[in-house]
Each structure stands twice: as structure tokens, then as C-alpha cells.
């Protein structure tokens, strides 16, 4: 008889010998029923059996057989979880490597949560065969959960002077990461329209990792402010005809002390002499407002004193009057009567 090896998983190993009709006995603890050896119950090790045969003449002979039971490979794995998103994801690292996964949702040793059936728990099996041809298997439970709901916030259309936007206050859930996609306006978790510049800016907000990573975009359109020019500063004399100021571009509004017609920019020169800062504001088709200031100076009139009234008798000669006095100059004045 030839010795042989079996795996520990074998429950019914048939022992055979010639001539048939003899008796088998176990010599060192191998579980034997008639000629059926139970390797699974016996466990790993080397087991000796004796086959005894007696012929019709009463002559008896025996022979020994050694059966080696090899242990099954020891496998390790872990349970895992994935989000209910499309596509294949890796199954847990298992040892020894080189085995095969099987089960619902498994394809090419990977797992597809949606093919498996979506949200729920699924048992998948890792099988491995060692160099002795002994195989073992272990089960891992894969939990499929729903993905997080994510919102990067509402799309926005703003002017360049809108101010810095705190993206964390408009997005959910918190703790995610922003991606600029080429926009210069993203600084950490804030968006600065002055850095971004005029144009359309698409920012991406992501939360989670691996197949549980979800993302959402927000589109922010930034408009430049209109160019506005209120003109050059100017001086007028008190009481002159009212001045109509001209701003660029046309169609804006004037404000400030002394403005009596906001649309036409009419300035009342009869105000108290002094400097007046006047503002020209313009709103473009994008709703963006810009303004510029101009200073109009009202100069006071010169105080003039012609002296006291006088009465003269008619005479055909010129009369010299006293000099006229006024604030800035003193000049002689000659009248003919």
C-alpha cells in the first residue's frame, strides 16, 4: 500500500487494500469507521493504519498505511462598508493573498454596491487554496450605506465690490474641501471677487473619501464695476447761473449739498461759499454701481463800497470822488455829471 496525504477538510477517506475483505485498525488515534477515515475529526497529523487479511487456509498477513492530514490554510479578512454609488470598489485585504472573492455584487475580485442590490448588508466569501491543494474560505460582511447629501450653495451673480464670501456659511455638510478649478478667487474656504476678476468661476466642494466621496459645484459670475468719471474740479462765483455738471457715462445720478436736479446734475451756485463734494453714481446693465466725486468751489463776491451818497450843484466841470474801497483792491473812480 502507498502512503498518501489528505486535507483536514476530508470527512470520508476510503482506505482500500488487496486482497479485499480484510480488516482495518487505527494505530494512533485516527478516527476510523470500518475502512472510512475521518480526517476532519482526526485533525492534522500523521496517522497509521494496519490492514490485516486472513486467507481460506487460515494464513494471516498485514500491512501498514500512513495517512498524512494537512491543515487547512488559515485565512484572515475584515468586514467593510461602502456607499451606494456606481462602480467597482476593492474588497478588504485578506491573507494569504492570491485567493478569490465570490458572492453577490462581486466581479473580478471587486465589489459593485449597486449591482449587489444597493443599501443593505452582503456576505461575500474569500477562498484560498495552498500548495498542498487544501482550500479554506472566510466570510466578510459588506455594508452598503447611503451617500451624504451635499450642497455647495446657490449659484451667484455678483459685482466685483460684493466683498469676500465665506463659502463655509453657504455649503453643507461642513468639513469638506474646495477646489478652485483655475479660479484665482478661492482662498481657503473663502471667495474674493476682486482676486477672481471678471468672468464665470466654477468652484467644486467635495466631502468624504473613496467611493463615499461626493461633490457639488457652485457657479459664481463676477461683473466688473462700470468706469465712472465725474469730471474735473471747478470753481464758480457766488450767484452765477446754476451749473449743470456732466458725468460719464451718461444716465447716472448726482447727489450732494447744492444739487437741485439729480438727473441733470444742476448745482445751485447761491449756496454759502465754500467747497462742495458732489458724487456722480452710475449703474450698468449688470446692476453694478460705481461713483466718482468732484469738488465745486463757490467763491464769494468781492465786497464793494462806493462811499456815502453826495449832492452837487450843476456845474460844467468834472468832480473828483473819493476812491472806492472793496476787499481786494483800491482804485480811483471818476464820474462825469
DSSP string, 21-32: S-EEEESSS--E
For the domain that residue 284 is a member of, what is the CATH number?
A: 2.60.40.10
The reply to whether 209 and 238 lie within a common domain is no
Please name the residues in contact with 20: beta carbons below 8 A apart, sequence gap of 6 or more.
none
Question: What's 22's domain CATH number?
Answer: 2.60.40
- End position of a domain, from candidates 120, 145, 170: 145
pTM, two decimals, is 0.66
Question: 96 and 135 in one domain?
Answer: yes
Domain co-membership, 65 together with 11: yes
Based on the domain organization, do 172 and 134 belong to the same domain? no
pLDDT in tens for each of the 337 residues of the chain? Answer: 799 999 999 999 999 999 999 999 999 999 999 999 999 999 999 999 999 999 999 999 999 999 999 999 999 999 999 999 989 999 999 999 999 999 999 999 999 999 999 999 999 999 999 999 999 999 999 999 998 999 999 999 999 999 999 999 999 999 999 999 999 999 999 999 999 999 999 999 999 988 999 999 999 999 999 999 999 999 999 999 999 999 999 999 999 999 999 999 999 999 999 999 999 999 999 999 999 999 999 999 988 777 788 787 777 777 666 665 544 433 343 333 3
117 part of a folded domain: yes
Are both 214 and 244 inside the same structural domain?
no
Q: Order of strands, edge to edge, in the sheet holding 36-37?
A: 13-14, 36-37, 32-33
Tracing cell 487494500 back to the chain, one arrives at 17
Number of domains in the chain: 4
Round to whole Å and give the CA distance between 162 and 167: 14
175 domain-assigned: yes
Instruction: Tell me which of 100, 125, 145 is where a domain ends.
Output: 145
The whole domain housing 12 covers 4-70
Same domain, 132 and 175: no
136 and 170 inside one domain: no
One domain, residues 206 and 239 = no
Same domain, 204 and 242: no
Residue 250 in domain: yes
* Residues present in the chain in total: 337
Q: Look at residue 86 and tell me if it is in a domain.
A: yes
Amino acid at each position: 500500500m502507498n502512503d498518501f496525504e489528505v486535507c483536514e477538510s476530508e470527512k470520508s477517506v476510503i482506505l482500500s487494500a488487496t486482497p479485499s475483505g480484510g480488516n482495518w485498525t487505527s494505530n494512533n488515534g485516527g478516527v476510523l469507521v470500518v475502512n472510512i477515515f475521518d480526517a476532519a475529526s482526526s485533525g492534522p497529523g500523521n496517522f497509521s493504519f494496519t490492514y490485516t487479511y486472513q486467507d481460506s487456509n487460515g494464513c494471516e498477513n498485514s500491512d501498514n498505511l500512513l495517512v498524512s492530514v494537512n491543515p487547512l490554510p488559515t485565512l484572515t479578512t475584515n468586514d467593510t462598508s461602502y456607499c451606494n454609488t456606481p462602480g467597482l470598489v476593492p474588497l478588504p485585504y485578506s491573507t494569504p493573498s492570491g485567493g478569490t472573492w465570490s458572492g453577490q455584487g462581486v466581479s473580478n475580485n471587486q465589489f459593485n454596491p449597486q449591482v449587489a442590490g444597493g443599501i443593505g448588508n452582503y456576505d461575500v466569501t474569500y477562498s484560498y487554496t495552498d500548495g498542498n491543494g487544501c482550500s479554506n474560505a472566510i466570510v466578510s460582511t459588506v455594508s452598503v450605506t447611503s451617500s451624504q447629501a451635499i450642497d455647495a450653495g446657490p449659484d451667484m451673480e455678483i459685482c466685483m465690490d460684493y466683498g469676500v464670501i465665506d463659502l463655509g456659511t453657504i455649503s453643507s455638510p461642513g468639513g469638506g474641501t474646495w477646489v478652485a478649478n483655475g479660479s484665482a478667487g478661492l482662498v481657503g474656504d473663502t471667495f474674493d471677487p476682486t482676486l477672481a476678476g471678471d468672468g464665470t468661476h466654477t468652484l467644486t466642494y467635495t466631502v468624504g473619501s473613496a467611493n463615499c466621496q461626493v461633490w457639488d459645484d457652485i457657479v459664481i459670475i463676477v461683473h466688473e464695476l462700470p468706469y465712472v468719471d465725474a469730471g474735473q474740479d471747478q470753481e464758480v462765483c457766488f450767484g452765477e447761473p446754476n451749473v449743470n455738471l456732466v458725468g460719464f457715462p451718461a444716465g447716472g445720478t448726482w447727489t450732494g449739498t447744492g444739487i437741485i436736479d439729480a438727473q441733470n446734475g444742476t448745482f445751485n451756485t447761491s449756496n454759502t461759499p465754500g467747497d462742495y463734494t458732489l458724487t456722480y453714481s452710475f449703474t450698468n446693465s449688470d446692476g453694478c454701481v460705481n461713483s466718482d466725486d468732484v469738488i465745486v468751489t463757490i467763491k464769494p463776491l468781492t465786497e464793494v463800497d462806493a462811499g456815502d451818497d453826495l449832492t452837487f450843484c450843476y456845474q460844467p466841470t468834472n468832480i473828483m470822488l473819493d476812491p472806492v474801497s472793496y476787499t481786494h483792491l483800491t482804485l480811483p473812480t471818476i464820474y462825469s455829471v
